[in-house]
Amino acid sequence: MRIVMLGCGGFIGSHLLDRLLPLGGVEIHGWDLDFSKIEKHLANPSLNLRQDSVSSSYALQEIEKEVEQADVVLNLVAICNPADYNTRPLEVIDASLFDIYPIVELCAKHKKWLISFSTSEVYGRTVASYLPQAGYQDLSLYELNEDETPLIMGPVHNQRWTYACAKQMTERLIYAHHKENGMPFTIVRPLNFFGPRMDYIPGRDGDGVPRVLACFMTALLDNKPMQLVDGGQARRTIVSIHEAVDAICLMLEKPEKSQNQIFHIGNPYNEVTVAELAELMRQTYAKITGDSSFKDHPIISTSAQEFYGEGYEDCDRRMPNISKAKHLLGWDPKISLPDVLFETMSYYHEKYAKSLSKASC
Ligand SMILES: NC(=O)c1ccc[n+]([C@@H]2O[C@H](COP(=O)([O-])OP(=O)(O)OC[C@H]3O[C@@H](n4cnc5c(N)ncnc54)[C@H](O)[C@@H]3O)[C@@H](O)[C@H]2O)c1
């Protein structure tokens, strides 16, 4: 199978390469700006890597040659860190929409199967969150269904929605090319894939504010308080990266089931509030380090404005209905949240253990 993989050096791309390359019989043409997560694959003869932006005119010419020969094109490119949505909005929109649209057009021109990674953020907030009270008593007001749930964004000045809107527009362009030009497609809406390599740790291998797991992990590593934004009442479901990769592999294996569909890839059995996640993480870290004082690691509250800056608001809840992935792909995630956290946090502990400090908060 010939695969063009755009954004192959990121978290999900690196795990896909780990799984696909040892299978044999695959030839992968990968593009990314950063190869630090895939160094072990750099010399693999089945991998043809290009370190360049997919938006450069040179890259587009080269990608077109690869697309012509490909069985499938996987698009993983994005700037997908919530702290960037309201602080680097133009780059966020470019990465998920304008840089990708020429690739969608190439796939349409050559009628190639495009598997594009979108996001559950396209739903915005749930209907339940706008109701005066008790909206969450009714599953139909918050459970997300790929083909029925409305997509509800906040106002334009809340620039937090830039990423969600750019992803939604790309989904609509893909769907339009499918309907008008017969381009086969699969849209994946991931819901919080967790695992090794998922994010950087500020001050060690990156700067700024990473996603929630890495924020809490940094606090534990640096012995600083874990900060709950607006009380940490937003709810999220968390799935192991390994089971997420299982789902993508099933899509590749079963094009007759996966083409021309939108899929949630998430684990509805692993739902937590962000406050519960912080609690679970400090318990897990006590287990990993053998230091029971982490069980009482300080947790403090902060406002979204203080933490993310102006123009931030959160999605209240993301409970995916995954019956389509179950029925069409035979995929049903099983790995429990404690196990996902243990693996992911052990990776971070191992990687950064040398710089651990137990300075007082
Ligand atoms: N990880 C999740 O739980 C999750 C959740 C929702 C959506 N997604 C989507 O899945 C996809 C992959 O996510 P991820 O977690 O691997 O993110 P990631 O940030 O680790 O990977 C994205 C990769 O795209 C690359 N990239 C960005 N702009 C580029 C450009 N112009 N040219 C070439 N490469 C470029 C980055 O260098 C990065 O390696 C993204 O589209 C993201 O929006 C992921």
Give the integer Cα–Cα distance in Å for 66 and 188. 22
pLDDT in tens, 315-324: 899 999 999 9
Find the domain containing 346 and state its range.
78-355
Please name the residue that has the structure tokens 């077109």: 64
Helices 162-181 and 101-109 cross at an angle (nearest 10°) of 10
Mutation choice for ligand 1 from 76, 100, 165, CB with most ligand atoms inside 8 A: 76
Segments in 118-264 forming alpha helices (H): 162-181, 212-222, 241-253, 255-258
**Residue list, ligand 1 pocket, CB within 6 Å:** 7, 9-13, 31-34, 53-55, 76-78, 80, 95, 99, 117, 119, 190, 192-193
Mutation choice for ligand 1 from 4, 6, 8, 11, CB with most ligand atoms inside 8 A: 11
Does any domain span residue 117?
Answer: yes
The length of the chain is: 361
pLDDT in tens, 152-207: 999 999 999 999 999 999 999 999 999 999 999 999 999 999 999 999 888 888 88
Confidence of residue 354 (pLDDT cuts 50, 70, 90): low
Does any domain span residue 3?
Answer: no
* Atom 30 of ligand 1, residue of closest alpha carbon: 53
Identify the pLDDT of residue 355: 57
Identify the pLDDT of residue 356: 56
Domain count of the fold of the chain:
1
- The atom number, within ligand 1, closest to the CA of 34 reads 37
Does any domain span residue 25?
Answer: no
Mean pLDDT (whole number) for 336-341: 98
Cβ–Cβ under 8 Å, residues 226 and 298: yes
pLDDT > 90 in the chain, percent: 86
Residue 218 confidence (pLDDT) above 80? yes
Does any domain span residue 148?
Answer: yes
Q: Average pLDDT, whole number, for the chain?
A: 94
Identify the pLDDT of residue 193: 98
* Atom 21 of ligand 1, residue of closest alpha carbon: 10
Mean pLDDT (whole number) for 138-161: 94
Residue 359 confidence (pLDDT) above 60? no
CATH of the domain at 105: 3.40.50.720
Give the integer Cα–Cα distance in Å for 76 and 20. 15
Mutation choice for ligand 1 from 77, 85, 94, 165, CB with most ligand atoms inside 8 A: 77
Does any domain span residue 240?
Answer: yes
Identify the pLDDT of residue 277: 98
- The atom number, within ligand 1, closest to the CA of 199 reads 20
The residues carrying an active-site annotation are 163
HSE-CB of 12 using CA atoms within 13 angstroms: 27
Does any domain span residue 37?
Answer: no
Q: Is the dihedral of CA 270, 275, 281, 286 positive or negative?
A: negative
Smallest Cα–Cα separation from 174: which of 75, 249, 29, 321?
A: 75
Please name the residue that has the structure tokens 């990121």: 10
Identify the pLDDT of residue 169: 98
DSSP string, 45-111: TTEEEEES-TTSHHHHHHHHHHHHH-SEEEE------HHHHTTSHHHHHIIIIITTHHHHHHHHHTT
Rounded distance from Cα 47 to ligand 1 centre (Å): 19
Residue 132 confidence (pLDDT) above 80? no
- The atom number, within ligand 1, closest to the CA of 193 reads 3
